[in-house]
Amino acid sequence: MILETQRLSKVYSVGQEKIPALRGVDFHASAGDFIVINGPSGSGKSTFLNLIACVDRHSEGEVLIEGQATSKLSENQLAELRKRKIGLVFQSFNLIPVLSAYENVEYPLLLLGVNSSERQRRVMGLLEEVGIKDLAKRRPDELSGGQRQRVAIARSLVTEPKLVLADEPTANLDSETGKQVMSIMRRLNEDHKVAFLVVTHDPVVTQYAERTVKIRDGQLTEENSHVVAYSAA
């Protein structure tokens, strides 16, 4: 199992008031899964994503990445874990503006200390896979939204993680580009056997899921499992 959460809870404090955002969530994902978590605004889906991405601390329960409990890990250990095992795709792409597409994808490899030739092989390979090899030298402000999200997807996969977490990856894209991006993610999911977990409130995205989970009031409910002909999208 790649990811497992056990009775995962998150409570926010606003003054004296305690607001539960996640209430004892049990969840798991295996290698190669493509899971879509959907729910309305304020349902707790971003909180859930932040907790399993190890960028936020939970109040109770546990998050296990490849069987490793994360609650007792230090800041540096969590950074190490994110670097090696988790890829992230953001709603607003979150590329580094001063770096080219190539350099943005290369950045996580620099953190890992991968040598130059291997970096080049992996970066160019992924840029080709997401279809923007020719745009490698362009900076983010010279790319369209869809192209930026492809760079972000390539960046999320370049360290060969076990799990890619995508937070509303199509929210800032038009519907056609959104479909293209989802198709790419689905294809990479199959090609690389990486588990994808996509958080969205876009019903179109759900069509690409082989497993859909609904989140409401901080609780998950398994909706269905199905195989999607993503290539038709």
Distance of CA 140 to the CA centre of its chain: 19
Q: Does 155 bind other proteins (CB under 8 A)?
A: yes
Say how far apart CA 184 and CA 3 lie, in whole Å: 22
Contact letters for other proteins, residues 116-135 (x by CB under 8 A): --------------------
In total, the chain counts a number of residues equal to 233
Using the minimum distance from each CB to other proteins, give the nearer residue, 94 or 219: 94
Q: Does 88 bind other proteins (CB under 8 A)?
A: yes
Half-sphere exposure of 131 (CA within 13 A, CB side): 13
**CA 27 vs CA 7, 49, 162: distances in Å:** 9, 12, 16
In whole angstroms, the minimum distance from the beta carbon of 50 to other proteins comes to 5
Say whether residue 84 binds other proteins (CB under 8 A).
yes
Contact 144, 103 (CB under 8 A): no
Phi, psi of 140 (to 5 degrees): -50, -40
Q: Which is nearer to other proteins, 23 or 84 (CB)?
A: 84
**Contact pick of 11, 64, 79, 171 for other proteins (by CB under 8 A):** 79
Residue 159 sits at φ, ψ, to 5 deg, of -85, 5
Q: Which amino acid is at 103?
A: E
Touching other proteins, residues 38-67 (CB under 8 A)? 50, 53, 55-56
Segment lying near other proteins (by CB under 8 A), choices 84-92, 129-137, 181-189, 199-207: 84-92
CB-nearer residue toward other proteins: 31 or 111: 111
Residue 107 binds other proteins, judged by CB under 8 A: yes
How far does Cα 208 stand from its chain's mean position? 15
Q: How far apart are CA 31 and CA 45, in angstroms?
A: 21
**Residue 75 found at the interface with other proteins (CB under 8 A):** yes
205 touches 178 (CB < 8 A): yes
Task: Output the smallest distance, CB 122 to other proteins, in A.
Answer: 15
Binding site for other proteins (CB under 8 A): 50, 53, 55-56, 75-76, 79-80, 82-84, 87-88, 90, 92, 94, 96-99, 103, 107-108, 110-111, 155, 159
